[in-house]
Amino acid sequence: DGPAALLSNPMARLAVFALIGILLVFGLWLFIKDRQRNQLVGSYKSYVNEAGQLADQSSADGKKLIQVLQNTDGKNAAALRSEVDKLAVDARALVKRGDALSPPDGLADADRALQMSLRMRSSGLSLLSQIIPNVMRSENANAAARQLSDPMKRFLASDVVYEDECAAVAAAKIRQESIDGLEVASNTVFLTGTNDKFASDAGASTLLKEMKSAGTKNTNAAGGRRGTSVEGVTADPSGQALSASGANNI
């Protein structure tokens, strides 16, 4: 009547082994499921964190760009172009880093939007670098403003793509997967705040005036070149004209 007697029954013994088998399979299933869940959460966190770093850095470059174009240091066109070129190099590096990301299947669409956004910003910076000399010396203010607004429109479009097709889509998928404590980087726009106005012709015209007027602020600053059109010099009080080619006795 004890366990030994129970196991001596072939049917009972078979039932016990079957039960043990079921428990083992169930335990293995739980283990695999838990491991898959951990892998899923880990892949989401890894991707979102890496993508967020790219988005944050790109946004920081957008802030630098506006500071460069406002030209408070009075740089000429060549110097402005050099500063924009540096940002363009950074943007291309971000594109390469974005290409190297490995998104989980659920974030594939969001990743494509991220890469598109980064590429739009990179191409916009390259275009801006090319047109700076033209817009700075152009005498047609309206045409120059329209030309300047073209890369700005790309930057604004990249912000819409990132917010709507990357950040929002990724956040929705994270909620669907019930992953807690993970937030997608948002408000990482390139044209930060009210700078989106520069994507319009009127806004670009205002920015162009800043670029040009600031570039002439330091024309006569201390230490600058002076007297480049001097026609003659006289000594007071005699009024004697001084020679530029030889010694003068005053």
Residue 19 has a pLDDT of: 76
* pLDDT classification of 67: cutoffs 50, 70, 90: very high
* pLDDT at 163 > cutoff 50: yes
Contact present, 58 and 118 (Cβ < 8 Å): yes
Q: In the chain, where do the E strands start and end?
A: 234-235, 240-241
Among 13-22, 131-140, 168-177, where is mean pLDDT lowest? 13-22
pLDDT in tens, 35-44: 766 778 989 9
Omega before 237 cis (within 30°)?
yes
Beta bridge partners of residue 240, listed in sequence order? 235
Residue 207 has a pLDDT of: 94
pLDDT in tens, 19-39: 777 877 777 766 677 776 677
